[in-house]
Amino acid sequence: MIALASASPRRRELLTQLQQDFVLVKGEIDESLLEGETADQYVLRLAEQKAQAGYQSQQLPLPTLGADTIVQVDEVVLGKPVDLADFKRMMGLLSGRSHWVKTAVAIATAQGMISTTVATKVWFKPLSEQEILWYWNTGEPADKAGGYGIQGLAGQFVQRIDGSYFAVVGLPLYETAQLLQTLKDMQ
């Protein structure tokens, strides 16, 4: 049994696919990008802080899994869109080119932290203004890093990926299973 420090329904569903028993805990943290922080440092820090916050929130703490996903185009980290203008800016950066989706997974235990980061390259087709507005109006982009969910309606914009599909959704299954095995080996 572990604890999952995540409000993401996608992460809950994916963790269930690993046949891992878990309880939900709060892992709320400040998700601000620090000055000088690289995308890789940022996503790993967030996953580790979520895991640690979730671990510390329990009276009798279970090993706690935290994860975070970011979208990076060039050196720009794209978070969740704050409004239509921000979303249009993001889609303009993603349209007709490749970008990186990076998901970090961390497990906090009494013995310390184990973690990994998975990077997947994603290529978007060129997007028209009409497609961008249509997608925004579906409501789907609002709570997603980079303003899209590959498992949803935006899947039709994705020409190809190189890497883990599940990392783009929000929890890389293979790498998470490896971390869970490492956790078992530690106990």
Q: What is the pLDDT of residue 115?
A: 98
Give yes or no for residue 187 having a pLDDT over 90.
no
Mean pLDDT over 28-43 rounds to 94
Mean pLDDT over 119-146 rounds to 96
Q: Which residues pair with 113 in a beta bridge?
A: 108
Cite the active site residues.
68
Q: What is the pLDDT of residue 176?
A: 98
Checking DSSP bridges between strand 22-24 and strand 158-162, what pairing results, if any? unpaired
Give yes or no for residue 66 having a pLDDT over 90.
yes
CB atoms closer than 10 angstroms to residue 35: 5
Read off the pLDDT of residues 148-160 as tens digits, 9 standing for 90 and up.
999 999 999 999 9
Mean pLDDT over 112-117 rounds to 97
Q: What is the pLDDT of residue 149?
A: 94
Please return the burial class of 162, using the count of CB atoms within 10 Å of its CB with bins 0-12, 13-18 and 19+. exposed
Give yes or no for residue 143 having a pLDDT over 90.
no
- The band of 170, judged by pLDDT with boundaries at 50, 70 and 90, is very high
Using a CB cutoff of 8 Å and minimum separation of 24, what contacts does 31-38 make?
31/68, 31/79, 33/77
- The band of 7, judged by pLDDT with boundaries at 50, 70 and 90, is confident
Instruction: Say what the pTM is.
Output: 0.94
> Please, are residues 185 and 115 in contact by the beta-carbon 8 Å criterion?
no
Give yes or no for residue 51 having a pLDDT over 90.
yes
Element (H, E) at 176: helix 173-186
Mean pLDDT over 10-30 rounds to 93
Q: What is the pLDDT of residue 44?
A: 98
Helices 173-186 & 9-17, crossing angle to 10 degrees? 70
From the list 130, 152, 132, 129, the residue with the least C-alpha distance to 140 is 152
Ramachandran class of 66: left when φ > 0, alpha when ψ lies in -120 to 50, beta otherwise:
beta
Give yes or no for residue 125 having a pLDDT over 90.
yes
Mean pLDDT over 68-86 rounds to 94
Give yes or no for residue 64 having a pLDDT over 90.
yes
Tokens (6 digits) for 11? 């992460």
Give strand ranges (E) for the chain.
2-4, 22-24, 64-73, 76-78, 98-109, 112-124, 158-162
